[in-house]
Amino acid sequence: MEILDKNDSTDINGGVVSQIRKITYAGLIVNVVLFIVKLALGILGHSQAVVADAIHSLSDLITDFAIIFGVKFWSKPADDCHPYGHRRIETFITAIIGLVLVAAAVGIGYNALSTIRDAHIEQPCWIAFMGALISIVFKEVLYHWTIKVGKRLKSSAVIANAWHHRTDAFSSIPVAIAVAAATLNENWIFLDHIGAIVVSIFILSAAWKIMQPAIAELFDAGAFEHHKKEIQNIILNTSGVKSIHKLRTRRVGSGLYLDVHIQVAPAMSILDGHEISGLVKRKLLNEGPDVIDVIIHIEPYDSV
């Protein structure tokens, strides 16, 4: 039997933690700056929508702080109390980000519906429109930067935070449309509410895409079917392996833990079987779909 782990390198873990914190701190700084800019331009431009959008930027800090403080825990190596590591913390934080998005979507939709008939006291001006436009541009740029880092590091929490940035950009679109429309004609202010409802639906959709794999993992769902086939092909294409069975997978954080029985020639020595299991191990860790730990059982092949 071989028990293998990809989490043995402290240097690699430290580098990943550093990169995650770097991109998250960048998002945090952008959110603080956007809050100040949108609040100032919203007040100067007499736009309640832009002021509300500025307050929304403060809520984004929740997920930023969750990742900054959480990454040092989920990146810890396995120990006696947590033999599979601490990666479920990342899954938990990913689910929290999804819940924050759901709350934001429900809040935006409810506010749009409940105030759709409210009269606006002052007509916004173009300086307020600039606040919403700045938010859209910066948040979209931040999304592309964060999603690139998240995919490279295979971090579900960072990817979820990237989508949070994009939904923030989406939520600023109806604000920009409303301010521009209200600046041209105060009778068009109702577009703000309709646009907000549409955006809340998009945010709910993004939240589900973030939460669905996290929830599945918390319920011990295995690898996707195409990943299982990829793993089987890697094992079966290894010299000396006759067959496999009892392949079990468990997704933890952004990685997969495997437990598999491989069958070899019955007359093979223990040493030769051990070398084959080591070869299977290296191939799975190097070529497999996010494989981080493997337990391999050796059995004699029975052709009957």
pLDDT in tens, 226-278: 888 899 999 998 888 889 888 888 877 667 888 899 999 888 888 988 899 99
Q: Comparing 7-218 with 225-300, is the CATH topology the same?
A: no
- pLDDT score at 10: 42
CATH topology of domain 7-218: Alpha-lytic protease prodomain-like (1.20.1510)
The pLDDT assigned to 145 comes to 93
Question: pTM for the complete prediction?
Answer: 0.62
**Domain residue spans of the chain:** 7-218, 225-300
- Residue range 225-300, CATH number: 3.30.70.1350
Q: Which helix (H) or strand (E) holds 297?
A: strand 291-300
| 283-293 per-position pLDDT tens digit | 998 888 878 88
Question: Could you report the per-residue pLDDT of 10-31, keeping only the tens digit for each?
Answer: 444 567 778 888 888 988 898 8
Q: Which of 76-90, 152-166, 214-228, 233-247 has the highest mean pLDDT?
A: 233-247
**Which DSSP string do the residues of the chain spell out, in sequence order?**
-EEEES---HHHHHHHHHHHHHHHHHHHHHHHHHHHHHHHHHHHTT-HHHHHHHHHHHHHHHHHHHHHHHHHHHTSPP-SS-TT-STHHHHHHHHHHHHHHHHHHHHHHHHHHHTTTPPPSS---HHHHHHHHHHHHHHHHHHHHHHHHHHHHT-HHHHHHHHHHHHHHHHHHHHHHHHHHHHH-GGGTHHHHHHHHHHHHHHHHHHHHHHHHHHHHHTT----HHHHHHHHHHHHTSTT--EEEEEEEEEETTEEEEEEEEEE-TT--HHHHHHHHHHHHHHHHHHSSSEEEEEEEEEE----
Residue 3 has pLDDT above 50, yes or no: no
Model confidence band, residue 85 (pLDDT cutoffs 50, 70, 90): confident
Measured CA angle at 8 (ends 6, 12), to 5 deg: 85
Residue 62 reports pLDDT greater than 50: yes
Higher pLDDT, 279 or 63: 279
